[in-house]
Chain A
């Protein structure tokens, strides 16, 4: 059984000094009956240990597909990665054979999902599902694996872990189920955790508990965290950097303080102005006119141009705006980013 563990260690070419996770020019398309939907159109970002990167965007902007591509759990067909690289410590994961990818998942990169009830298997106890990880990946005995499972449930602060380990997923409340998912993701000590809308289905008071727990665990383990969400409040609370996605592209990437105070892309700006705030009684909310484009027919030039207040003729023509460097570590895909930033 030890050879399985050995298999992981020989993940060839790992360079401890290389960046933790790098995504370069990732393209994902879905070949559907209605044509080719380009869900991700050249996404770029990187992640350092201990850092929280938020990927922010509305439904259909490609944020979950990006996560699935990184994890290697994209449904294929219809989804295909057509271009780009996903480098973990210098190793391009997209070039690895499936067997090795399997060991990368869980051991190095783990993911938690929005809906814990459908992500957990309803016919096995949570203890069994957690133990399975240790038995398959670490070759532990049943008894040892169960012991480890209880420790993990303790770590994610599930009360009476010793008895709850033999409960089924439906016997847990929504927040507790999400804790089980977190335990499962962290079981094999990954150094990258991808959280896809981890608190969207939960009430605010439970959301606060879960986000607090995630932050604590991240700090203990110095993990890189990719938080995929559409909730700008949550992002403001926890993220270090933000990538705003629109129609499959990262349209703005910046530190969290910069983007909230002076956004450089019109979409990020409009999004921030359209949310009601708890600590202010606002007047009319600013509205982004129109709808996000269908991914089978993304507009020419900048995908946001039909809805943009800054759009000029150049925005309606190909090539789409490149990644302008607004400041060191800060980019925006808008020809007029100077006007947007200076518009305050």
Chain B
């Protein structure tokens, strides 16, 4: 993916703080959960940006901000030059059409009382200008066909489908309004391995066919490596390292990325004991009260006094050819055998 390709989505200093309140009648704000705290990402046309991180790092909140399910505390989300956070009314509706979402759990994200046809056709009710009323049944059947389901099954209910098929219904629903960007929030983590591969292949095929751009959020780093062109690693509401697949997986420079990668088991017993394993101590600190300076410093083996005083910015550094938010960034191969 060359740098000249058009940027379709860009966030600038995106922040989402959830207030912590005290009192019942007279509520006062006593703090804030800093779920997303100054995130800058860029997504180019036809590209897949993987967002990885552990639970509680803010990746799902980021997804909700991008599709407009949450209002950001501050910052901007630019989609093709327009700031989504400033749009209102008709303009906002039109802009939202362009960015759709596939949810994690195909068992709870489909209404059990609606038929598959109604579920996939619902976006057309909300945005009637996309497909004229007459053509809707046909459009729904085409969508089912596109995602590899039998078009005759429009009158079935979600419970009549398996997990993998349900996720296909979720994908068809996201495709209905012909968006340019699809945010996939853990789209395969609820599925069995043999089914997971089917859905990943489908997502890749659809990307080629329609020129879609994906934000692919997952905690499974192997899946992200497989599908993503570029990767952003998040820790406690911030992006700590970004780069293309090669840079992140072969030459990670941020200690957190290195620890995260080294913890992922590789399905090859001959590598047992031959890989560089970094076992992190302790748990992720609370996002309501993050450490000063670098947020990873409490679990980092490289931490010095500067880490507590100065917040490392995400930038290209002397020993890191891609952006990394660490004062002591340097590459270390943790994925391959020593």
Closest to B272 in A: A237
Residue A118 at the chain B interface, CB threshold 8 Å: no
**Bound CA span A253–B262, Å:** 29
Q: Which of B28-36, B110-118, B149-157, B189-197 contacts A (4 or more CB under 8 A)?
A: B189-197
**Distance in angstroms between the alpha carbons of A233 and B225 in the assembled complex:** 15
Q: Does B322 count as interface, using CB distance less than 8 angstroms?
A: no
Q: How far is B162's CA from A173's CA once the two chains are assembled, in angstroms?
A: 32
B226 touches A272 (CB 8 A): no
Q: B318: CB under 8 A from chain A?
A: no
Query: Within the complex, what minimum Cβ distance (angstroms) separates B22 from chain A?
Result: 20
Contacts A212-B279, A281-B245 given: A256-B269 contact, CB under 8 Å? yes
Counting from the closest, the 3 A-B pairs by CB-CB distance are A233-B265, A276-B226, A203-B54
Q: Which residues of A, 260-287, contact B by the 8 Å Cβ criterion?
A: 260-261, 270-272, 274-279, 281-282, 284-287
Q: Are B197 and A287 in contact (CB under 8 A)?
A: yes
CA A282 – CA B228 in complex, angstroms?
A: 11
Q: Which residues of B contact A288 (CB under 8 A)?
A: 194, 197
| Nearest-Cβ distance from residue B279 to partner chain A, whole angstroms | 5
Q: Is the CB of B221 within 8 A of A236?
A: no
Q: Is A205 an interface residue (CB 8 A)?
A: yes
**Are B277 and A208 interface neighbours, CB within 8 A?**
yes
Quick check: is B81 within 8 A (CB to CB) of the other chain? Answer: no
* 19 pairs, A vs B, C-beta closer than 8 Å: A175-B283, A203-B219, A204-B54, A205-B280, A207-B263, A212-B279, A231-B265, A233-B222, A233-B264, A234-B265, A236-B265, A237-B269, A260-B268, A274-B194, A274-B197, A275-B222, A278-B261, A281-B246, A287-B197
Q: In the bound complex, how far is the Cα of B193 from the Cα of A234, in angstroms? A: 14
Q: Which of A59, A231, A278 contacts B221 (CB 8 A)?
A: A278
CA distance A281 to B249 in the complex (A): 10
Interface: A164 (CB within 8 A) = no
- Inter-chain contacts of A281 with B (CB < 8 A): 225-226, 245-246, 249
**How many residues on chain B are close to A (CB under 8 Å)?**
44
Q: Is the CB of A237 within 8 A of B201?
A: no
Query: B193 near A232 (CB under 8 angstroms)?
Result: yes
Q: Report the minimal beta-carbon distance from B92 to chain A, rounded to whole angstroms.
A: 35
Per-residue contact bits, chain B 28-56, to A (CB 8 Å; 1 contact, 0 not): 00000000000000000000000000110
Is there contact, CB below 8 Å, between B198 and A278? no
Residue of B193, B266, B336 near A274 (CB, 8 A) is B193
Question: A233-B222, A256-B269, A278-B264 given as contacts; is B279 within 8 A of A209 (CB)?
Answer: yes
Q: Which residue of chain A has its CB nearest to the CB of B226?
A: A276
CB neighbours of A272 from chain B (8 A): 267
Residues of A that sit less than 8 Å from B by CB = 58-59, 173, 175-176, 203-209, 212, 230-237, 239, 256-257, 260-261, 270-272, 274-279, 281-282, 284-288, 291-292
Tell me, yes or no, whether B164 is within 8 Å of chain A by CB: yes
Give the one of B222, B223, B271 with max A CB within 10 A. B222
Question: From B279, which residue of chain A is reached at the shortest CB distance?
Answer: A208
Asked if B2 lies at the interface with its beta carbon under 8 angstroms from chain A, I say no
Among B55, B195, B249, B271, contact of A203 (Cβ-Cβ < 8 Å): B55
* Residue B259 at the chain A interface, CB threshold 8 Å: yes
Point out the residues of chain A lying under 8 angstroms from B336, CB to CB. Answer: 279
With A175-B283, A276-B225, A278-B249 as contacts: A285 and B192 at CB distance below 8 Å:
no
Docked pose: A176 CA to B282 CA in angstroms: 9
Whether, in the assembled complex, B175 has its beta carbon less than 8 Å from a beta carbon of chain A, the answer is no
CB of B260 closer than 8 Å to a CB of A: yes
Chain B residues near A284 (CB, 8 Å)? 201, 204
Provide the residues of chain B in CB contact with A285, threshold 8 Å.
197, 200-201, 226
Contacting residues, chain B, for A239 (C-beta < 8 A): 269
Is the CB–CB distance between A279 and B201 below 8 Å? no
Indicate if the CB atoms of B225 and A176 lie closer than 8 Å.
Answer: no
Contacts A58-B193, A275-B222 supplied; 18 other A-B pairs, CB < 8 Å: A175-B283, A203-B54, A205-B54, A207-B265, A208-B262, A208-B263, A234-B265, A236-B267, A237-B265, A260-B267, A272-B267, A276-B200, A278-B221, A278-B222, A278-B335, A279-B335, A288-B194, A291-B164
